[in-house]
C-alpha cells in the first residue's frame, strides 16, 4: 500500500477513535436535550470528573500494589461511573430541576454557572496543571510495509471501539426494551402527557442525566488513557465538541449522536493530519455553525414546525 | 413525615459523600513521571463528612425548614404595579445614578492610585455589561461570544497604533464601528436560530476569534500579544513624565505642576467615566425610541411582533450590532489601560463573567447592571484571602441567583411612554 | 383584493389543508367556518406567511405572496389577530399601539438620538393615531395600563386596535368572538362592520359564533377536514345540506 493511503488510513483510525468517544459524551447531551429541551452545559465537566475519578482509582490501586490489569480497569470504570452518575444526579437536582420550565435563558445560565463551579471544584481539589494519565493498554499492530510510514491500530484504540460499541448496543437495547427506556421515550415526546399517564417524570429525567453521565464517565476513562493527560478545563472543549456532534447528528437522536461523533472525530483528525493541529478546533466550531445554519435539525433529526 | 424523608435524606447524604470524597479526599501528586496518591488533610475529610451531615439534616427536616423560609417576606415581588408608580420608581433610580455619578467625579482625587486603577476596570466592565444588556436583557438574545467584539475593539486600537500611529481618540470610533461591523457580519446568519442554539453558535464564534488571535501570529502577535499601546491624551497633552510622541506637550509642564504618576491614572479613569456615562445615556435613549420598543416587543412575543411587520432579523441585528459597538468602546479603553493585550484576556470565561453581571444585576436594568459590575469586580479584591475560591463562588452564585431570584438584584423598571390626557 | 387558489398545506404525512380556494374583494367581510380541527387557522397561517404552503397560490392585489415571510406580508397590508390573544403584556396599552406603527416611524438611530423635527413629528403622529383608535374601541382611559392587566374582552379590542393602527387593507381575525359574552359580541359586531364601512378595510374572519357570522358576513366559506365544502352568501350556506350535515350535533 502506498504511503499516502497508509497516512490517510491512520488519520481515519485516529478520527474514528476520538469520534467514538465523542459519541459517548454526545449521548448525554442528546438525551437531555431530547427530554427537557435544554443544553446541559455542565456535561463536559461530568466527563472530566469521570476521568479524574478513574485516575484516582487507578493510582490508588497501584499504590495498594494491585497489578492485574483487568481488575484495575474494572475498578476504575466502576468508580468513575458511580461518581459521575452521582454528580449528574446532583447537578440535575440542584441546578436544573428548580428552574425547569422557566424562560429559556435561566436554565442555560444556571448550567453555565454549574459548569464554572465544577471546573473550579476539581481545580481546587486537584490543582490546575495537567496530570499524566497512564496508558494501561499498550501495544497494537502495525500494517503496511512502507519503510518510512507504518499505520498502526493500537490496542487502546481497539478498546475504545469495542467499549463504545458495547455501550451503544446496551443503551439501544435499554431504550427500546426496558420499562425505563420506554418511559424515557414517552417523556421526551410529551412531558405533560407522560405525567398524566402516571410516569414519574422527575425520576425519568434524573435517570436520563444519570445514564448520560455514566457514558461520559466511560469516555473519561478511555480518553484519559488515550490522550495521556487530564486537567480541570479539558472537559469544556470536549463538551462543546460533543455537543457539536450531537447537533450534527440530529439533537434528540441517539444514532445521530453516534454518527455525529464519528463525523466530527474524523474531520478533526483529517484537519490535524493534513492542515494543522492548531486549527482543528476551528474546524469543529465551523462545522457546528454550518450545520446550525443550513440544517439545524441535523443529519438524522426530524424537522420541526412552529405551532402558532 | 420525618420517617418518609429519612430514606431520601440518606440517599442525598450518600450522594454528597460520593461526589465529594473521591475528588476532595485524595490528592494526586505528580512526581516526575509517576503519580502518587495521598490522602487529603484531615480538615478536608472533616468538611466532607460535615457536608454530608448537613445535607442529611436538611433533607430530613426539609418541610420544617421550607415553611420557615416561606414565612420570611420576599424582597419586593414586583409584578404588575401601575406604570405610573413604576415611572416614579424609575425616576428615583435616575436620581440615585446621578448621585453616584457626582461622587464618582470627585472621588479619585482622594484615594490611592491602585483604587483608581481598579475603578477604571470596573467602568470597563460597566460598559461591557451595559452593551451585553442590550443584547441579552433588552432583546432577549443569548450571546455567549460577546468577548469577541471586546477583542475586536482592543486589537483594532493595538494594530492601528502599531502600524499607523493612531492615537486613542482616533481609534475609539474606529474600534467601536469595526466591532459593530463584526456584530453585523457575525449576527446576520445566526440570528434566526433558536435561543440555545444561538448561544452555542455565538460561543463558537467567540472561540474561533480567540483561536485566530492566538495563531495568526504575523498579524496579532499570537500568544505574545501586542504592546506599546498609547494612553489617551488631552488636546495633545500627554500624561507621562516625558513626552513619547513628537509634537505633544506634557500635561504637567503645560500647567506648571509637579509630575505625578497619579495624573495618568486619574485621567484614564475620568475618560472611562465619561464613556461609561455616554454608553448608559445613549442606550437609555434607545430604549425609548422605536428601536428599543421593537426589542422589547420581539422579546415579549416574537410571533405577535412579526405579525405587525417587525422583521425578526432586522430587530435582533440592531441589538446585536449596538451591543457590539459598545464592546468595541470598552475594548479600546482596556487596551489603553493595560498598554498591552493578548488573547488571554478574551477567553470564554470573560463572556461568562459579563453575562453573569447582566443576569445578576437584572436583565434590562441599568442600575442593577452597574451595581453588579461593581460587585463582581470589587468583591474579589476585598476578599483577597478567598481569591482561590473566587470562581467557585462565582459559579455557585450564578446557579443560586437563577434558582432564587432570576429577575436579578434590581429587576428592570422601564419608563413607560405615557399618553397625556388631552383636555 | 385577495385570491387564494388551491391552497394546500402538508405536514409530513398529514394534509391539513387540501385545495382550499377563496377570495376577498374590496369592501367585503368574508367568513371561514367549519368544525373544529378543519384547518381554518392553518389557512390563516399560510395566508399571513407564518407557514409556507406546500401547494397553491395566494395573490394579494394581483401579486403572488405565498411563501413570503410573515412580516413582509404584514407590511403589504394584511394584518392578523390570533386565536389566543397575543399582546405585549408587559408593555402598556399605548405602547402596544406604538410598536404596531413601527413602519410609520422614523427608525433612524441618529435621528432619534438627536430628536430631529422629523422624528418628533412622526412620534407625535403615532401617539395621536394610537389615541384615536383607543378612543374608537373604548380603551382610552386604560391607555397607560399594562396590557396584561386588561380584562379579556378589553384585550381582544386592543388587539383589533393594534391591527388598525397599522393602516391595513385586509384584516384577518382569528376567532375574535371567542370567550366574549353576548353584549361584547354585539359590540364586536358593530366594530367589524364599521371597520368595513368607515375605514375601507376588508375583513376575513374565522369564527364559531354563528350569529355573528350570519349577521355580518357578505360571504361565507365552509371548510371541513381541510377541504372546501361550500361557499356563498349566508342564506345559501344556511340552507346548504352538506354544511348542515357537517355541523350535525353542533349548536
Cα C100 from Cα C109, distance rounded (Å): 18
Radius of gyration for chain A, computed over Cα atoms and rounded to the nearest angstrom: 20
> What integer best gives the mean pLDDT of chain B?
80
> Is residue A156 predicted with pLDDT exceeding 90?
no
In whole angstroms, what is the distance from residue B124 CA to residue B130 CA?
A: 10
Give the C-alpha distances (Å, rounded to integers) separating B188 from A24, A76, B315, B316, B376. 33, 48, 11, 9, 32
The whole-number pLDDT of residue B244 equals 63
Whole-angstrom distance, CA of residue C90 vs CA of residue C92: 6
Assess if residue B207 is contained within a domain.
Answer: yes
B162 Cβ contact list (under 8 Å, min separation 6):
B226, B228
Within-domain flag for B92: no
DSSP-derived secondary structure for B302-358: HHHHHHTT--HHHHHHHHHHHHHHHHHHHHHHHHHHHS-B-GGGGSHHHHHHHHHHH
When pLDDT is averaged across residues C101-126 and rounded to a whole number, the result is 84
* pLDDT given for residue A125 in this prediction: 83
Q: Are residues B138 and B230 in the same domain?
A: yes
**B321 shares its domain with B385:** yes
More confident residue, B242 or B395: B395
C165 touches B: beta carbon within 8 Å: no
**CATH 1.20.140.10 describes domain C1-77+168-251:** no
How distant is the Cα of B156 from the closest Cα of chain C, in angstroms?
24
In this prediction, residue B422 carries a pLDDT of 45
CATH 3.40.50.300 domain position(s) in chain C: 1-77+168-251
C200 touches chain B (CB under 8 A): no
What is the pLDDT at residue B247? 61
Reduce the DSSP state of residue C172 to 3 states and report it: strand
Whether the predicted pLDDT of B16 surpasses 90: no
Maximum average pLDDT range among A109-123, B236-250, C53-67:
A109-123
pTM above 0.95, yes or no: no
Same domain, B21 and B114: no
Residues B11 and B126 in one domain: no
Give Cα separations from A58 to A50, A136, B20, B52, C37 (angstroms).
12, 10, 18, 25, 62
Q: Are residues B203 and B255 in the same domain?
A: yes
CA B73 to centroid of chain Cα atoms: 30
Q: Give me the CATH number covering residue B274.
A: 1.10.3470
Residue C232 DSSP SS3 = strand
Residues B189 and B338 in one domain: yes
Q: Does B395 contact A114 at a Cβ distance shorter than 8 Å?
A: yes
Q: Is B417 helix (H, G, I), strand (E, B) or coil?
A: coil
Grid coordinates representing B397? Answer: 452564585
pLDDT, greater one: B182 or B78:
B182
* CB contact B419 to C (< 8 Å): yes
Instruction: Quick: pLDDT tens for B356-380.
Output: 888 888 777 788 888 888 888 887 7
Residues of C in contact with A306 (CB under 8 A): 50
Query: Quick one: B258 and B383 in the same domain?
Result: yes
**Based on the domain organization, do B148 and B54 belong to the same domain?**
no
Residue of B nearest to C128 (CA): B419
- Between B167 and A246, name the one with better pLDDT: A246
Percentage of chain C lying above the pLDDT 70 cut: 98
| pLDDT single digits (tens) C14-32 | 888 888 888 888 888 989 8
Residue A239, φ and ψ in degrees, nearest 5? -60, -45
Residue written as cell 476520538?
A: A18
Q: Does A219 touch chain B (CB under 8 A)?
A: no
User: Which residues of chain B have a CB within 8 Å of the CB of A123?
Assistant: 391
Q: pLDDT exceeding 90 applies to what percent of chain B?
A: 14
C45 contacts in A (CB within 8 Å)? 308
Q: What is the mean pLDDT of residues C111-116?
A: 82
Which helix (H) or strand (E) element contains residue B204? helix B195-215
For residue B160, tell me if it sits in a domain: yes
Inter-chain CB proximity C82 and A308 less than 8 Å? yes
Q: Is A297 on the interface with B (CB under 8 A)?
A: no
Q: Does C120 touch chain B (CB under 8 A)?
A: no
Contact A306 C41 (CB under 8 A): no
CB C206 within 8 A of CB C44: yes
Distance from C235 to chain A by nearest Cα, in Å?
33
- Which C residues 33-52 touch B at CB under 8 Å? 48, 50
**Residue B413 domain flag:** no
Interval A106-134: pLDDT, tens: 888 899 999 999 999 888 888 777 788 88
**Tell me, what's the pLDDT at C215?**
85
Do B301 and C87 count as a contact with CB atoms less than 8 A apart? yes
How close, in Å, is residue B306 to chain C by CA atoms? 5
At B418 the pLDDT is 65
Query: Cβ contact (<8 Å) for C50 and A306?
Result: yes
| pLDDT tens-digit series, residues C146-205 | 888 888 888 988 999 999 999 899 999 998 888 888 888 888 888 888 888 888 889 998
Would the pLDDT of B239 be above 70?
no
In a domain, B107, yes or no: yes
The mean pLDDT value of chain A amounts to 85
Tens of pLDDT, residue by residue over B293-312, are 999 898 888 889 999 989 88
| Cβ–Cβ < 8 Å for B265, B123 | no
Q: Å from A229 to nearest chain B CA?
A: 11
Q: Say how many residues make up chain B.
A: 423
Q: What is the mean pLDDT of residues B202-228?
A: 83
Global ipTM = 0.87
Alpha-carbon gap: A261 to the closest alpha carbon of chain C (Å): 28
Same-domain status, B211 and B328: yes
Residue B96: other Cβ atoms inside 10 A? 13
Give chain B positions within 8 Å (CB) of C72.
311
Inter-chain residue contact B26 with A296, CB threshold 8 Å: no
DSSP assignment of B233-273 equals: -BTTEE-SSS--STT-EEHHHHHT----HHHHHHHHHHHHH
Cβ–Cβ contact C11 with A under 8 A? yes
Q: What pLDDT was estimated at residue B35? A: 65
Among the partner residues A39, A82, A114, nearest to B200 by beta-carbon distance: A39
Q: Does the distance separating the beta carbons of B391 and A119 come in below 8 Å?
A: yes
- Subunits with 3+ Cβ pairs within 8 Å of A are B, C
B302 and B379 in a single domain? The answer is: yes
Please give the interface size between A and B, counted as residue pairs whose CB atoms are below 8 Å apart: 176
In this model, does residue B80 exceed pLDDT 50? no
Q: What residues are paired with C4 via a beta bridge?
A: C22, C58
* B36: containing domain: 2-67
- Looking at the structure of chain B, the number of domains it has is 2
CB pairs under 8 A between A and C: 8
DSSP one-letter string for A118-137: HHHHHHHHH-SS-EE----S
Residue A243 has pLDDT above 70, yes or no: yes
Nearest CA in chain B to C71: B309
> Among residues 26-55 of chain A, which lie with CB inside 8 Å of chain B?
38-39, 49, 52-53, 55
B34 and B111 part of one domain: no
User: What is the pLDDT confidence band of residue B390, given thresholds at 50, 70 and 90?
Assistant: confident
- Taking an 8 Å cut-off on Cβ atoms, the answer to whether C41 and A308 are in contact is yes
Beta strands (DSSP E) in B48-163 are none
Residues B124 and B215 in one domain: yes
Residue B254 lies in a domain: yes
Q: Is A308 on the interface with B (CB under 8 A)?
A: yes
Average pLDDT value for residue range A43-69: 87
Which of A60, A106, A123 comes nearest B406 by C-beta? Answer: A106
User: Is it the case that residue A307 has pLDDT exceeding 60?
Assistant: no
Q: Does A98 touch chain B (CB under 8 A)?
A: yes
Which chains neighbour C (Cβ–Cβ under 8 Å, 3 or more pairs)? A, B
Range picked from A187-201, B319-333, B369-383, C136-150 for highest mean pLDDT: B319-333
User: Which among A121, A134, A292 is the nearest to B392, CB-wise?
Assistant: A121
* Alpha-carbon span B361 to B343, nearest angstrom: 27
Amino acid at each position: 500500500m502506498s504511503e499516502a493511503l497508509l497516512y490517510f488510513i491512520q488519520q481515519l483510525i485516529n478520527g474514528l477513535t476520538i469520534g467514538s468517544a465523542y459519541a459517548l459524551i454526545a449521548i448525554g447531551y442528546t438525551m437531555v436535550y431530547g427530554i427537557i429541551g435544554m443544553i446541559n452545559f455542565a456535561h463536559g465537566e461530568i466527563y472530566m470528573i469521570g476521568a479524574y475519578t478513574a485516575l484516582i482509582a487507578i493510582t490508588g490501586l497501584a499504590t495498594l500494589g494491585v497489578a492485574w490489569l483487568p481488575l484495575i480497569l474494572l475498578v476504575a470504570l466502576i468508580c468513575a461511573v458511580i461518581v459521575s452518575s452521582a454528580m449528574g444526579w446532583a447537578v440535575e437536582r440542584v441546578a436544573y430541576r428548580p428552574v425547569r420550565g422557566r424562560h429559556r435563558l435561566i436554565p442555560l445560565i444556571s448550567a453555565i454557572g454549574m459548569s464554572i463551579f465544577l471546573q473550579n471544584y476539581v481545580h481546587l481539589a486537584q490543582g490546575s496543571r495537567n496530570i499524566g494519565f497512564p496508558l494501561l493498554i499498550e501495544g497494537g499492530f502495525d500494517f503496511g510495509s512502507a519503510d518510512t510510514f507504518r499505520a498502526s491500530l493500537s490496542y487502546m484504540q481497539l478498546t475504545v471501539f469495542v467499549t463504545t460499541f458495547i455501550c451503544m448496543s446496551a443503551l439501544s437495547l435499554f431504550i427500546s426494551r426496558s420499562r425505563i427506556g420506554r418511559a424515557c421515550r414517552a417523556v421526551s415526546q410529551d412531558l405533560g402527557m407522560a405525567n398524566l399517564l402516571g410516569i414519574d417524570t422527575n425520576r425519568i429525567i434524573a435517570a436520563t442525566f444519570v445514564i448520560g453521565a455514566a457514558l461520559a464517565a466511560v469516555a473519561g476513562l478511555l480518553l484519559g488513557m488515550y490522550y495521556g493527560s487530564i486537567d480541570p478545563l479539558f472537559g469544556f472543549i470536549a463538551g462543546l465538541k460533543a455537543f457539536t456532534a450531537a447537533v450534527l447528528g440530529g439533537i434528540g437522536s441517539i444514532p445521530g449522536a453516534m454518527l455525529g461523533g464519528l463525523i466530527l472525530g474524523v474531520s478533526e483528525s483529517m484537519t490535524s493530519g493534513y492542515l494543522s493541529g492548531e486549527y482543528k478546533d476551528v474546524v469543529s466550531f465551523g462545522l457546528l455553525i454550518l450545520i446550525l445554519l443550513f440544517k439545524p435539525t441535523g443529519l438524522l433529526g426530524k424537522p420541526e414546525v412552529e405551532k402558532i | 413525615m420525618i420517617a418518609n424523608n429519612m430514606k431520601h435524606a440518606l440517599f442525598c447524604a450518600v450522594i454528597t459523600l460520593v461526589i465529594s470524597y473521591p475528588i476532595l479526599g485524595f490528592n494526586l501528586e505528580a512526581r516526575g513521571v509517576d503519580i502518587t496518591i495521598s490522602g487529603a488533610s484531615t480538615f478536608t475529610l472533616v468538611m466532607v463528612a460535615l457536608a454530608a451531615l448537613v445535607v442529611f439534616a436538611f433533607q430530613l427536616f426539609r418541610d420544617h425548614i421550607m415553611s420557615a423560609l416561606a414565612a420570611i417576606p420576599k424582597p419586593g415581588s414586583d409584578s404588575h404595579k401601575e406604570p405610573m408608580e413604576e415611572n416614579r420608581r424609575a425616576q428615583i433610580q435616575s436620581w440615585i445614578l446621578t448621585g453616584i455619578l457626582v461622587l464618582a467625579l470627585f472621588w479619585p482625587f482622594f484615594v490611592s492610585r491602585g483604587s483608581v486603577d481598579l475603578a477604571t476596570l470596573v467602568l470597563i466592565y460597566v460598559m461591557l455589561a451595559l452593551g451585553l444588556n442590550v443584547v441579552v436583557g433588552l432583546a432577549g438574545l443569548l450571546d455567549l461570544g460577546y468577548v469577541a467584539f471586546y477583542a475586536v475593539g482592543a486589537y483594532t486600537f493595538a494594530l492601528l497604533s502599531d502600524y499607523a500611529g493612531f492615537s486613542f481618540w482616533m481609534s475609539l470610533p474606529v474600534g467601536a464601528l469595526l466591532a459593530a461591523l463584526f456584530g453585523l457580519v457575525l449576527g446576520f446568519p445566526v440570528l434566526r436560530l433558536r435561543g440555545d442554539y444561538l448561544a452555542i453558535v455565538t460561543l463558537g464564534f467567540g472561540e474561533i476569534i480567540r483561536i485566530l488571535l492566538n495563531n495568526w501570529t504575523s498579524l496579532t502577535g499570537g500568544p505574545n500579544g501586542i504592546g506599546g499601546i498609547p494612553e489617551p491624551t488631552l488636546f495633545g497633552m500627554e500624561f507621562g513624565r516625558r513626552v513619547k510622541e513628537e509634537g505633544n506637550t506634557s500635561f504637567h509642564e503645560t500647567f506648571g505642576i509637579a509630575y505625578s504618576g497619579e495624573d495618568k491614572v486619574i485621567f484614564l479613569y475620568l475618560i472611562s467615566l465619561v464613556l461609561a456615562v455616554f454608553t448608559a445615556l445613549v442606550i437609555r435613549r434607545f430604549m425609548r425610541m422605536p428601536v428599543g420598543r421593537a426589542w422589547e416587543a420581539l422579546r415579549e412575543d416574537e410571533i405577535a411582533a412579526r405579525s405587525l411587520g417587525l422583521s425578526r432579523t432586522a430587530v435582533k441585528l440592531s441589538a446585536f450590532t449596538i451591543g457590539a459597538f459598545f464592546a468595541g468602546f470598552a475594548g479600546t479603553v482596556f487596551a489603553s489601560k493595560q498598554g498591552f493585550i493578548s488573547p488571554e484576556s478574551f477567553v470564554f470565561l470573560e463572556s461568562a463573567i459579563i453575562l453573569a453581571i447582566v443576569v445578576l444585576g437584572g436583565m434590562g436594568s441599568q442600575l442593577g447592571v452597574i451595581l453588579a459590575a461593581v460587585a463582581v469586580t470589587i468583591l474579589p479584591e476585598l476578599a483577597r484571602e478567598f481569591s482561590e475560591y473566587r470562581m467557585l463562588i462565582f459559579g455557585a452564585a450564578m446557579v443560586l441567583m437563577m434558582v432564587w431570584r432570576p429577575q436579578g438584584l434590581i429587576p428592570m423598571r422601564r419608563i413607560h411612554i405615557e399618553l397625556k390626557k388631552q383636555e | 383584493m385577495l385570491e387564494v387558489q388551491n391552497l394546500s398545506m402538508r405536514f409530513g404525512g398529514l394534509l391539513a389543508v387540501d385545495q382550499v380556494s377563496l377570495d376577498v374583494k374590496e369592501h367585503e367581510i368574508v367568513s371561514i367556518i367549519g368544525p373544529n380541527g378543519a384547518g381554518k387557522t392553518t389557512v390563516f397561517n399560510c395566508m399571513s406567511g407564518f407557514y409556507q404552503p406546500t401547494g397553491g397560490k395566494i395573490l394579494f392585489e394581483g401579486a403572488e405572496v405565498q411563501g413570503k415571510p410573515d412580516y413582509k406580508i404584514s407590511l403589504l397590508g394584511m394584518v392578523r389577530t390570533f386565536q389566543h390573544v397575543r399582546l405585549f403584556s408587559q408593555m402598556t396599552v399605548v405602547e402596544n399601539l406604538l410598536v404596531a406603527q413601527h413602519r410609520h416611524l422614523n427608525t433612524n438611530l441618529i435621528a432619534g438620538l438627536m430628536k430631529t423635527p422629523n422624528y418628533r413629528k412622526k412620534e407625535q403622529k403615532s401617539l395621536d393615531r394610537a389615541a384615536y383608535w383607543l378612543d374608537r374601541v373604548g380603551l382610552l382611559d386604560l391607555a397607560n395600563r399594562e396590557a396584561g392587566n386588561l380584562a379579556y374582552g378589553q384585550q381582544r379590542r386592543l388587539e383589533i386596535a393594534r391591527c388598525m393602527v397599522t393602516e391595513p387593507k385586509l384584516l384577518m381575525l382569528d376567532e375574535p368572538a371567542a370567550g366574549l359574552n353576548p353584549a361584547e359580541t354585539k359590540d364586536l359586531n358593530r366594530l367589524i362592520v364599521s371597520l368595513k364601512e368607515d375605514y375601507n378595510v376588508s375583513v376575513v374572519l374565522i369564527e364559531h359564533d354563528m350569529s355573528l357570522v350570519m349577521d355580518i358576513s357578505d360571504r361565507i366559506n365552509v371548510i371541513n377536514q381541510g377541504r372546501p365544502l361550500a361557499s356563498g352568501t349566508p342564506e345559501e350556506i344556511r340552507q346548504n345540506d352538506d354544511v348542515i350535515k357537517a355541523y350535525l350535533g353542533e349548536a
